[in-house]
Amino acid sequence: MEAQPKRKLFSAVQPSGAVTIGNYIGAIRNFAALQDEYACLYAVADLHAITVKQEPAALRRHTLELLALFIACGVDPEKCTLFVQSHVPAHCELTWVLNTIAYPGELSRMTQFKDKSARHADNVNMGLMDHPVLMAADILLYQAALVPVGADQKQHLELTRDLGIRFNNRYGATFTIPEPFTPKSTARIMSLADPTKKMSKSDENPNGFVTLDDDRDTILRKFQRAVTDSGAEVRYDTEEKPGVSNLLSIYCAFTGKTIEGAERDFAGKGYGEFKLAVGEVVADALAPIRAEHGRLLADKAYLNGVMKRGAEAAARIAYRTLAKVYRKVGFYAGE
């Protein structure tokens, strides 16, 4: 029997500064885990990043840093296609076509658009509103079947599916309709300072998030300060104990243990000991990633080569899809 070609998988992360353990647990850690089973494409979403103000020099630096971080987190550039979104112009070209079947009503209802418009009230631009259409273009261009993302991106993925189905219905079968890959207990890592809020690098309180380049002492300190509750029992209960439950999810993500196993580990132990143990597990797991990240960043030529080869490989697939789209919508291609 002939081997089936691997199904495609796409995901991307914005190069908008520090990467948190929320990004890592919710998305990036799954990138390496899925690379043998799927034909994976991973992008640094710089086109998305400029929908909020970026300092140009910092954006350039963060782009290279994020590409290196993917590799430091175990993504193998020999197995996966790693590239920078703006290096493949087809992303913008397909966005334009998809814009003609996307409605302002559905875009202005997106939770992230509403949140970001409130946070950046001085810069509510068209790109911010169009963010999910560009994301749909990213995914549909590669005929991706699976998209590993955190829970906050699930609404955008629903829109991607809607736009793909809408296009297929109007013009005939063109796009694969993707599914999200969002394991439940790690889909939404919460702030350490306020466990009712998502962990986010844009939190003004730096104790709310841990980044992949925080050093050991900083990590331990942030976990020691993590908000728990007035009880004393280490038990998973997101309603009654959101802080403790979040720490348990983080502990399990880094140890591979089940929640029940983790609860047993801390039976009869106090919150102080628990928080120290979670901090240590996270610091131990991040140390080799930090070291590898530093090593990779010292070899710019290698990283530039990876992203160049990645953009070429991505463009080959992307332009096949785009040619099909242009034909379906009736663009005249000459004789």
Q: Could you tell me which residues come within 8 angstroms of residue 321 by beta carbon, excluding any fewer than 6 positions away?
A: 90, 94, 140, 141, 142, 143, 174, 175
CB of 55 to ligand TYM, least distance (A): 17
**What are phi and psi for residue 237, nearest 5 degrees?**
-160, 95
Q: What is the DSSP letter of 14?
A: -
In terms of CB distance, is 188 or 241 closer to ligand TYM? Answer: 188
196 exposed, middle or buried (CB, 10 Å; 0-12, 13-18, 19+)? exposed
Please give the positions annotated as active site: 116, 198, 201
Q: Which of residues 293-312 bind ligand TYM (CB under 6 A)?
A: none
Minimum CB separation from ligand TYM for residue 61, in Å? 16
Indicate whether 84 belongs to the interface with ligand TYM (CB under 6 A): no
Give Cβ neighbours of residue 25 (< 8 Å, ≥ 6 apart).
186, 189, 249, 250, 253, 254
Residue 17 interacts with ligand TYM (CB under 6 A): yes or no: no
Closer of 77 and 132 to ligand TYM (Cβ): 132
Q: Is 147 in the site for ligand TYM (CB under 6 A)?
A: yes
| 13 near ligand TYM (CB under 6 A) | yes
Q: Report the residue from 14, 30, 228, 321 that binds ligand TYM according to the rule CB under 6 A.
A: 14
Asked if 188 is part of the footprint of ligand TYM (rule: CB under 6 A), the reply reads: yes
Helix (H) or strand (E) holding 42: strand 39-44
Of 51-59, 182-190, 269-277, 289-297, the window that binds ligand TYM (rule: CB under 6 A) is: 182-190
Q: Looking at beta carbons only, is 149 or 262 nearer to ligand TYM?
A: 149
Helix (H, G, I), strand (E, B) or coil at 332: coil
Q: Do 232 and 271 form a contact (C-beta atoms < 8 A)?
A: yes
- Candidate segments 18-26, 62-70, 213-221, 235-243, binder of ligand TYM by CB under 6 A: 18-26
**Chosen residue from 40, 189, 244, 282 binding ligand TYM by CB under 6 A:** 189
Q: What are phi and psi of 260, to 5 degrees?
A: -60, -45
Residues whose CB falls within 8 Å of the CB of residue 41, separated by 6 or more in sequence, listed in order: 8, 9, 10, 80, 81, 83, 142, 144, 314, 317
Question: What is the rounded CA–CA span in Å between residue 21 and residue 24?
Answer: 5
Choosing from 82, 199, 282, 318, the residue that interacts with ligand TYM (CB under 6 A) is: 199
List residues near ligand TYM by CB under 6 A: 10-14, 22-23, 25-27, 45, 48, 135, 138-139, 147, 149-150, 152-153, 187-189, 198-199
